[in-house]
Amino acid sequence: MAPGPFKDHYFVLQVAPTADLIDIKKSYRKLALKHHPDKNDGSPQATKLFQQASLNAAWGVLSDPEQKINYDRDYQVHRTSQPHASSETFTAKTNGWYSANASPKAEDDEFRKQKEFKDWACAQSNKMEEIRVSLKKLNAELEDLAQKDKSYEALVNPYWDSWIKRFFGGGLRVEDMEKEKEENIQRMATRRVKEAIVSRLNAQRDALMREKLRRTGKENERQEKVRQSRQEKRSREAEEYVKEQQKAQERMEKEQAEMFQRAAEKREAEKREAERQREEDRSERSRRRGEQQAAEEYERRQEAASARERMRREEQGRQQKNRESHRNSPQPRQSQHSACRHKVFWDKVEGRQTCPHCQQLQYRFLYKCSVCETKGCAGCMKAMKNGGAPEQSSKPKRETPDTKGTMPEQSSKPKRAARGTSWW
């Protein structure tokens, strides 16, 4: 498995690689307070930033001395192996805080300046240490000379005291006294030289100390400016990232709303299309059913017409036979038929028959005179009752007789009276 990308904990905590534990702790607390969800009213964005930044992981590594030593070693190896590539940081495109354009050149320049300052400070410290050692040695030598001076003063007494000791015995001899004086003169010269050296070394040490303080102050100011500049830049980038995330969230919500709306419109269109299709199917079925019914009705009518034509021909044949039989029947019967005025009750003859006078097919029944047994339809019956004869070629309108077999009503009262008198 390939190793994961290197994580720049210094960049996460916004501190320089040379920062001490106090600066690291201060930056960690500041970032934790700024981006902790409890400080942002439970904002999901702040929670996401806090989790993605891995502040706790960076603090856990850099706050432990052993882990920090190992991490610094890996950090230097990573920077050496990739001098022109920025280490994997929590960038705006990935995890959210910092710019992906963290210039490696600027970081290298900053690292170089800090290294130069550290080298210079180390050299200054070495010089000051050498001066301190030299001063310590010279001070020890001066202390030794001072002790010897005290011994010399003890040997060299006042004038009278020395004469008394010399008169009564004791004290130094003249040769020894001269020797002590020469040694004292040499010690005084040596002390003056060493004191001059001590003064010069003290001046050098003070100058080095002042220069170190001055350079340290300037370096601290420069690093503070760099830190503030980076902090401001990262704050701006964090704000821009939050705004971009909000815009992305709004854009995503808008796209989702549009997608849901399009889906709803599509479902509505599909529903309308399905309803239209069902309506077309119902119309098509209704049309086909109507066409089928019309075809069946047409077939029934054709069959009925064929049946009527067949029955009409059969009835014509029967009528022809009846006329022939009437023609061959005895004459009194014919006189009786011709003498009947048909003013009597007509019976109904059930069945489908053709009227012998008008040749109209009657589907249910014909009327038959009870005297002469003449058959006819309702129209022909009325004509014969009124004293006329039905025309053979005419086709009077067929009237539906009473279902009980009674005679149809007459249209006027005098006719009903005449009909009533004719029965007797």
Q: Which residue has the higher pLDDT, 385 or 102?
A: 385
Is pLDDT above 60 for 419?
no
CA atoms within 13 A on the CB side of 164: 5
Q: How confident is the model at residue 338 (pLDDT cuts 50, 70, 90)?
A: low
Output the pLDDT for position 271.
Answer: 92
What is the DSSP secondary structure assignment for residue 17, as one 8-state letter?
A: T
Is 159 a residue whose pLDDT tops 80?
A: no
Mean pLDDT of 173-182: 68
CA distances from 302 to 187, 287, 361, 407 (A): 164, 22, 16, 33
The amino acid at 49: L
- pLDDT at res. 263: 92
Per-residue pLDDT for 101 more than 70?
Answer: no
pLDDT at 397: 45
> What is the tens place of the pLDDT at every residue in 64-83?
888 888 888 888 777 766 54
Q: Tell me the two tokens of residue 166.
A: 């010399």
Q: Which two tokens stand for residue 46?
A: 């702040």
Work out the mean pLDDT of the chain and round it to a whole number. 74
* CA proximity to 57, closest of 67, 45, 70: 67
pLDDT digits (tens, 9 = 90+) for 190-213: 778 878 888 888 888 888 888 888
Q: Give the three-state DSSP class for 111.
A: helix
pLDDT higher than threshold 90 for residue 270? yes
Under a CB-based contact definition with an 8 Å cutoff, are residues 407 and 370 in contact?
A: no
221, 233, 219, 7: which is closest to 102 by C-alpha? 233
Dihedral sign of CA atoms 102, 106, 110, 111 in order: positive
Q: Check: CB of residue 351 under 8 Å from CB of residue 362.
A: no
Q: Who has greater pLDDT, 158 or 295?
A: 295
Q: What is the pLDDT of residue 261?
A: 92
Q: For residues 173-185, give the mean pLDDT.
A: 69
Per-residue pLDDT, averaged over 45-60, amounts to: 65
What pLDDT, on a 0 to 100 scale, did the predictor assign at position 268?
93
CA distance 277 to 274: 5
Distance in angstroms (rounded) separating the CA atoms of residues 225 and 135: 38
Per-residue pLDDT, 416: 44
The per-residue pLDDT for range 234-256, each reduced to its tens digit, is 888 888 888 888 888 898 899 98
pTM of the model: 0.35
In the sheet that 375-376 helps form, which strands lie side by side, from edge to edge?
346-350, 365-369, 375-376
Amino acid 415: pLDDT: 43
Among 184-198, 300-314, 399-413, the least confident range: 399-413
- Which carries the bigger pLDDT value, residue 279 or residue 49? 279
How far apart CA 7 and CA 71 sit, in angstroms, is 10
The distance between the two most distant Cα atoms of the chain, rounded to a whole number of Å, is: 233
Q: Which one, of 201, 200, 193, lies nearest residue 129 by Cα?
A: 201
